[in-house]
Amino acid sequence: MANKRSYLGEFEHCVLLSILQLKESAYGVTIRAQLKKAIDRDVSLGAIYSTIERLENKGLIQSKKSEALPERGGKPKRLVKVTSLGQKELIETKKRMDTMWKNVTCDDVY
C-alpha cells in the first residue's frame, strides 16, 4: 500500500524555520530577506506565497492580516506563524534528518 503521509519538502522546511526565527514579524518580505541572509537563497515572492499557501493547507502554519498600511499601497501584511502541528512536523523532520546524517561526515559525502 502506498505511503500517503506527506513529508516536508526542502524549501517548505526552510520557510517554516524562517517563520519560526522571525516570530511575530513573519510575512513575505521578511521571509524572503531571512532566506537571503541565512542561506543566501534569492527566491521570488511567488515561490514564497505558493509555499505559504501549501503549508497553510496542510495546517502547518496559520495566517492573519495586519492593518492596511500606506507604504504598501493600502494593503495589509499577511502575517504567518507556525502552528503546533507545524512545530511537531519540524521536530520530526529534524529527527529524521539527524538519523540519516548519523555516522555520515562531510568527508563521506565527497
Partner 1 sequence: MSILTWCKWFIRLCSPNSFSDDICGDLEEEHTTISQSIKGKSNADLWMIQQTLKICIHFILSKNNLLSLLVSVAAISISFTMIVSVSWLSDLEDASVLSDAFWQQWLNGSTYQIFLEPVLWQSAPQAWSQPVDWNMWFYQPSVIYALISFYTLYKITAKLHLSITEYSLVSMLTLLIPYLIGNALFFFMDIKMTEAGPIVAFMWISTLYLILPISYQFINRLRMSERCFT
Site string for partner 1, 49-88 (x = CB under 8 A): xx-xxx--x-----------x-xxx-xxxx----------
Rounded distance, CA 51 to CA 61, Å? Answer: 10
Could you write out the DSSP letters of every residue in 73-108?
A: TTBPPEEEEE-HHHHHHHHHHHHHHHHHHTT--HHH
- Can residue 3 be called a binding residue for partner 1 (CB under 8 A)? no
**Cell numbers representing residue 106 in the block:** 562531510
User: Taking the alpha carbons of 34, 38, 42, 43 in that order, is the dihedral positive or negative?
Assistant: negative
Q: Which of 22, 28, 81, 83 binds partner 1 (CB under 8 A)?
A: 28
CB 79 to partner 1: min, Å: 10
Residues that bind partner 1 (CB under 8 A): 6, 27-29, 32, 44-47, 49-50, 52-54, 57, 69, 71-73, 75-78
